Structure 1
Amino acid sequence: MNEARKQRISDAFGAAAAHYDAYAGPQRLAATLVADLAQRQRPDGVTRILEIGCGTGFLTRDIQARWPGAELTATDISPGMLEQAAANGRVAGRFMTMDGEAPLFDGPWFDLILSSLAFQWFDDLEGGIARLARLLRPGGSLIFSTMGQGSFARWRAAHTACGLVAGVPDYPSLDALRGMVGSHADGFAFDEDYALACGGARGLIAHLKGIGAVVPSEGHRPLTPADLRRVMAAFEADGGDDGYQILFGRVTRPLSGTA
Structure 2
Amino acid sequence: MTDTRKQRISDAFGAAAAHYEAHAGPQRFAAGLVADLAQRQHPGGEGAGGAPRILEIGCGTGLLTRDIQARWPAADLTATDISPGMLAQAAAQGRVAGTFLTMDGEDPAFDGPWFDLILSSLAFQWFDDLPAAVARLAGLLRPGGSLIFSTMGRGSFMGWRAAHDACGLPCGVPLYPTLDGLRAMLADHGDAFAFDEEVAIEGQGARALLAHLKGIGAVVPDEGRAPLSAGQLRRVMQAYDAAGGQDRYQLLFGRVTR
List per-residue Cα deviations over 1:10-36 (Å, max 9, x = no partner). 000000000000000000000000000
In the TM superposition, what is the alpha-carbon distance from 1:170 to its structure 2 partner? 1.4
Task: Tell me which residue corresponds to 2:165.
Answer: 160
Instruction: Choose which of 165, 182, 197 in structure 1 pairs with 2:187.
Output: 182
Partner Cα separation in structure 1 for residue 174 and residue 108 of structure 2: 23
Q: How does 1:108-187 map to 2 (within 5 A)?
A: 108-187=113-192
In the TM superposition, what is the alpha-carbon distance from 1:114 to its structure 2 partner? 0.2
3-state SS of the aligned residue for 1:226? helix
Show structure 1 runs of 4+ deviating over 2 A: none
Letter in 1 for 2:38: A
The answer to which of 15-24 and 190-199 deviates more is 190-199
Instruction: Choose which of 66, 70, 87 in structure 2 pairs with 1:65.
Output: 70
Instruction: Choose which of 48, 52, 58 in structure 2 pairs with 1:53.
Output: 58
Instruction: Choose which of 87, 95, 100 in structure 2 pairs with 1:95.
Output: 100
Partner Cα separation in structure 1 for residue 9 and residue 230 of structure 2: 24
Task: Tell me which residue corresponds to 1:239.
Answer: 244
Task: Tell me which residue corresponds to 1:38.
Answer: 38
Partner Cα separation in structure 1 for residue 112 and residue 208 of structure 2: 45
1:81 aligns with 2:106: no
List per-residue Cα deviations over 1:114-139 (Å, max 9, x = no partner). 00000000000010000000000000
Partner Cα separation in structure 2 for residue 183 and residue 48 of structure 1: 25
Partner Cα separation in structure 2 for residue 94 and residue 108 of structure 1: 18
Partner Cα separation in structure 2 for residue 2 and residue 243 of structure 1: 33
3-state SS of the aligned residue for 2:161? helix
| Structure 1 runs not aligned, ≥5 long | 254-259
Task: Tell me which residue corresponds to 1:9.
Answer: 9
Q: What is the identity percentage for the equivalent residue pairs of Structure 1 and Structure 2?
A: 75
In the TM superposition, what is the alpha-carbon distance from 1:185 to its structure 2 partner? 2.1
Letter in 2 for 1:24: A
1:18 aligns with 2:23: no
3-state SS of the aligned residue for 1:187? strand
Letter in 2 for 1:146: T
The count of aligned residue pairs is 253
3-state SS of the aligned residue for 1:103? coil
3-state SS of the aligned residue for 2:39? helix
Partner Cα separation in structure 2 for residue 10 and residue 185 of structure 1: 33
3-state SS of the aligned residue for 1:159? helix
In the TM superposition, what is the alpha-carbon distance from 1:2 to its structure 2 partner? 7.3
Partner Cα separation in structure 1 for residue 91 and residue 229 of structure 2: 39
Letter in 2 for 1:172: P
Q: Is the 8 A contact 1:2 1:123 kept in 2?
A: no
In the TM superposition, what is the alpha-carbon distance from 1:186 to its structure 2 partner? 1.4
Q: Is the 8 A contact 1:198 1:242 kept in 2?
A: no
3-state SS of the aligned residue for 1:168? coil
3-state SS of the aligned residue for 1:150? coil
In the TM superposition, what is the alpha-carbon distance from 1:171 to its structure 2 partner? 0.6
3-state SS of the aligned residue for 1:138? strand
Partner Cα separation in structure 1 for residue 205 and residue 166 of structure 2: 17
| TM-score, scaled relative to structure 1 | 0.96
The answer to which of 69-78 and 1-10 deviates more is 1-10
| TM-score, scaled relative to structure 2 | 0.96
In the TM superposition, what is the alpha-carbon distance from 1:198 to its structure 2 partner? 3.0
